Amino acid sequence: MADSQETLLQKIKDQGDLVRKLKAAKESSEKEKKTNVGYNLEEINKWLSQCSYICGYTPSTSDIELFNYIEKNLNIESYQYIKRWWYHMRSFSVSEISRFPKNKPPIIMNKIPKVNTNTLNEQIQDEVAKLLALKAQLGTEDTSPQKFTLKTPKGTRDYNPQQMTIRNDVLQKVITVFKRHGAECIDTPVFELKEVLTGKYGEDSKLIYDLKDQGGEILSLRYDLTVPLARYLAMSKISTLKRYHIAKVYRRDNPAMTRGRYREFYQCDFDIAGQYDMMVPDAECLKVVTEILDSLDIGKYVLKVNHRRLLDGMFEACGVPDEKFRTTCSTVDKLDKTPWEEVRAEMINEKGITPEAADRIGEYVRLNGSTELVDRLLQDHSLTAAKPSVDGLLGIKLLLEYCELYGIKDKVVFDLSLARGLDYYTGVIFEAVLTQPIKIGNEEQTVGSIAGGGRYDNLVGMFDAKNKQVPCVGVSIGVERIFSVLEAKLAAGEMQVRTNEVDVYVISAQKNFLEERMKICNELWNAGIKTEQSYKKNPKMLTQLQHCEENGIPLAVVLGESELKRGIVKIRSIKARQEVEVPREKLVEELTARIAELGKVEQNGQ
C-alpha cells in the first residue's frame, strides 16, 4: 500500500515545486494590484483574518499609515480582525515604530488586491498541508531551527536564578508573617470554570484569559485569588478559615514590565473567613500588612482606610441616585492618579452626576485624618442623615481603636478618597502606599500602592445554592512591585545575591582524579553536605578555583596524589586562600564543624 521511499521523495519534491509556484503567483498578483486607494474595512477585515502576528510581524509603512488614519477617522468596533491587528500595532512603542523600515513594501494591507488572493492563499495552505503530510509519511520530522521569534508571551517573563533568589526571599518573609498569625495554606487550580469568574470583576472582565474550547468544559485562567477562595469555601461548605495563598494570576492588561506590571504575576493573599465580632479580623489584616512591609524594609508607607458603607452614605447625602453608587465609586477610585478636576468632569459628563452633587462629593473626598475626623463627620448632620454613613463612621472609629492597641495607629490614615475598584467589597477597604520614591543608583522609582484589600461579605453567597453567606476580610500583597525594586537594586550593584547554597567544592590538582573526587562527593552528599565538583574529567586547577569564587562557595576540598598516599586531604578556605591538612577519615567531621561556624558568622552578620 505505502509508497516506496524513492517514490515518496519524488512526490515531496513535486509537491514542494507546486507550493513554490503558487507562492510566486500570489506575490506577483499582490504587486500588480496596488492601484486601489482608500480603505474598504470589510475587505481589510477579511484579509487580516488570515494574518498571524507571531512570526515576528513587522509593520510596513502602509500599516502605520492605516493605523494613524483609523485613529483619527474610523470606527473599527465591528471588525474583529482589524481590531486584533490594531491591538498588535498598538503594542509597539513610539520609538519602535520610528525604527520601522520606511521603504519596505507594504506586506499586509492598504491597496487591497481586487482579485481574490484569498483563494490563492487557501490553495497554498492546502498544498502546504499535503506537503507536510507527505513529509510525515517519510517518518522524519523537520528538524531545521524554528522560524518564529523566540520570546515569552507578551507581558510575561522568565525568572533567572538571581531573580528567583530575590523572589523566594521576599515570599519567605511574607509567609513568615502569615504563619505568625496562624494562617493555613491552600491552593486552587490555575483555571476555573468560566462561569465562576463571570460577573465578579465589573468592567475588568474583559481582561480575563479564556482557554480554547477543545471539547469539554469552558475554562478561564484565574484573575485573582479572592474569587477562587470564595468558590472553594462555598464548594467545600467551609464557614471559618484563616488561609494564605501565594500563586500567579493572569490579566490581559497592557503590561508595564519595568514597573513590575505583568500579565502573569504573583499575588500573596491573607484572608479571614467567618462570622466574628466587628473589626477584630479587619484590624489584624492591617497589622499583617505592617509586619510584612516592615520586614521587607522598603521605605515609609501609609495605610489608607475607608469604608464602603460610608461611601454609600456620602453619595446618598450628596444626592447621587442609588443606581449610580457603583459607577461613581469607580470614578472616585481614580483620584490617586488623576486630579480632582478631571474626576469631577468624568462624574458630570460620563456618569451623569449633577455638578452640585459632584462638588459636594469633592468636598468630602478631600478629607483625610484620624479619629478626630471621624468624630467631626459624626457631627455632620447632612452626612449622618444617611444611615450607611453612620455604620461606616462607627466602623472606622472602632478599627482605629484596635489599630491603637496593635501599635500601628500612626501608620493608618482615614482617607475618604479611597474607593477601590472591585465590585465585591462591602465594608472596610484599605490600601498601603509607599510615601517616598525609592532611590536606585541615580534614579528614583515611584512605587505607589503595594498592598490592598477589604471586607467582602457577599461573595461566598454568590456561589452557594442557598445563598448562604460567609463574611470575609482579606489583603493582597503586591509583591511584583517589590521584586522589581529589588531587581533594580541588584542591577545597580546595590545588593548581591547568591543563587546556590553550595558549601564545598571538590577539587583535584592532578589528572585522572575524577573517581577519587566522586568518592569524596558521595561521602559528603551522604552526610548532607552541599557539595559540587566539576563535570569534566581533567579540569584545570584555576578554573575550579574561579568557579568557587564566582559562585561564593566558601570551602574547597583539594585532592593531591602525595597527600592521598599519606591519608591526608586539604581543606581550602576560598576567601582567605588558606589551606589546612586533615586526615582523610576526619574530613566530614571537620567540614561539618567549619560549615556550622560559617553559618554562625553569617547570622551574626545580619
Interacting positions 214-233 with a second copy (CB under 8 A): 214-219, 221, 231-232
Question: Residue 138's closest CA among 33, 244, 22, 13?
Answer: 13
CB burial string 101-118: b at 16+ within 10 A, e below: eeeeebebbbebbeeebe
Pairwise CA distance, residues 39 & 66, whole Å: 8
- Residues ≥6 apart with Cβ < 8 Å to 278: 395, 398
Site for a second copy in 61-90 (CB under 8 A): 80, 83-84, 87-88
114, 439, 537, 600: residue in contact with a second copy (rule CB under 8 A)? 537
Closer CB to a second copy, 142 or 372, in the complex: 142
Nearer to a second copy, 341 or 515 (CB): 515
Query: Nine-digit cell at 503?
Result: 558549601
245-269 core/surface letters (b: 16 or more CB in 10 A; e: else): bbbebbbbeebeeeebbbbbbbbbb
Nearest to a second copy of 34, 351 (CB atom): 351
Contact flag: residue 519 with a second copy (CB under 8 A) = yes
Which stretch in 10-18, 113-121, 521-529, 592-600 sits in contact with a second copy by CB under 8 A?
521-529
Handedness of CA 131, 134, 136, 139 (dihedral sign): negative
What CA–CA distance (Å, rounded) separates 195 from 438? 41
Asked if 136 interacts with a second copy (CB under 8 A), we say no
**Residue 18 vs 175, nearer CB to a second copy:** 175
Q: Which cell is 537 given? A: 574529567
Cell numbers 470606527 correspond to what residue? Answer: 75
Q: Please identify which residue in 72, 102, 212, 577 interacts with a second copy, judged by CB under 8 A.
A: 212
Residue 408 Cβ, how far from a second copy at the closest point, in Å?
A: 9
Q: Which of 526, 566, 575, 589 binds a second copy (CB under 8 A)?
A: 526
- Please give the C-alpha separations between residue 399 and each of 91, 128, 394, 570, in angstroms, as whole numbers: 44, 68, 9, 63
- Tell me which of 13, 99, 511, 530 binds a second copy, using CB under 8 A: 530
Binding window for a second copy (CB under 8 A); candidates: 212-220, 386-394, 435-443, 555-563:
212-220
Among the listed residues 4, 72, 93, 153, the single contact to a second copy using CB under 8 A: 153
The single residue among 287, 307, 308, 594 that binds a second copy, judged by CB under 8 A, is 287
Residue 214: CB minimum distance to a second copy, A: 6
Q: Of 67 and 340, which has the nearer Cβ to a second copy?
A: 67
Distance CA 183, CA 292 (A): 14
- Pick 53 or 340: Cβ nearer a second copy: 53
Whole-Å CA distances, 382 to 316, 376, 385, 416, 590: 10, 12, 5, 16, 78
Contact 253, 262 (CB under 8 A): no
Q: How many chain residues are in contact with a second copy, going by CB under 8 A?
A: 123
Question: Using CB atoms within 10 A of its CB, is residue 43 exposed (0-12), middle (13-18) or buried (19+)?
Answer: middle
Residue 19 or 89 with smaller CB distance to a second copy: 89
* Contacts (CB under 8 A) with a second copy, residues 156-195: 156-161, 164-165, 167-168, 179-195
- Per CB under 8 A, does 409 bind a second copy? no
Find the binding residues for a second copy in span 320-379 (CB under 8 A). Answer: 322-324, 326-327
* C-alpha–C-alpha distance, residues 309 and 330, integer Å: 15
Rounded to whole angstroms, the Cα distance separating 499 from 496 reads 10
Is 550 among the residues that bind a second copy (CB under 8 A)? no
- 90 or 387: CB nearest a second copy: 90
* Cell numbers linked to 199: 460577573
Range 384-403, binding a second copy (CB under 8 A): 402
Of 272, 310, 358, 486, the one binding a second copy by CB under 8 A: 272
Site for a second copy (CB under 8 A): which residue of 107, 280, 491, 580? 280
46 is a site residue for a second copy (CB under 8 A)? no
CB of residue 528 vs a second copy: minimum separation in angstroms?
7
Burial call 435-447: b when 16+ CB within 10 Å, e when fewer: eeebebeeeebeb
Site for a second copy in 480-509 (CB under 8 A): 499-502
Instruction: Tell me if 6 contacts a second copy by CB under 8 A.
Output: no
Closest CA to 544 of 530, 558, 531: 558
Q: How far apart are CA 233 and CA 456, in angstroms?
A: 13
CB of 189 to a second copy, least distance (A): 4
Give me 236's grid cell. Answer: 467545600
Site residues for a second copy, 88-127, by CB under 8 A, read 88
3-state DSSP assignment of residue 208: coil
Binding residue for a second copy (CB under 8 A) from 28, 143, 578, 604? 143
Instruction: Judge contact between 274 and 240, C-beta under 8 A.
Output: yes
Nearer to a second copy, 13 or 536 (CB): 536
Q: Is 50 in the site for a second copy (CB under 8 A)?
A: no
d(CA 247, CA 313) in angstroms, rounded, equals 36
240-259 binders of a second copy (CB under 8 A): 243, 248, 250, 252
Contacts of 515 (CB under 8 A, 6+ apart): none
Contact 112, 43 (CB under 8 A): yes
Least separation in angstroms between residue 576's CB and a second copy is 22
From 9-17, 18-26, 534-542, 566-574, give the range in contact with a second copy by CB under 8 A. Answer: 534-542
Q: Would you count residue 141 as binding a second copy (CB under 8 A)? A: yes
Contacts 24+ apart (CB under 8 A), 461-469: 461/234, 462/199, 462/200, 462/230, 463/196, 463/230, 463/231, 463/233, 463/234, 463/235, 464/234, 468/234
Of 42 and 203, the one with the shorter C-beta distance to a second copy is: 203
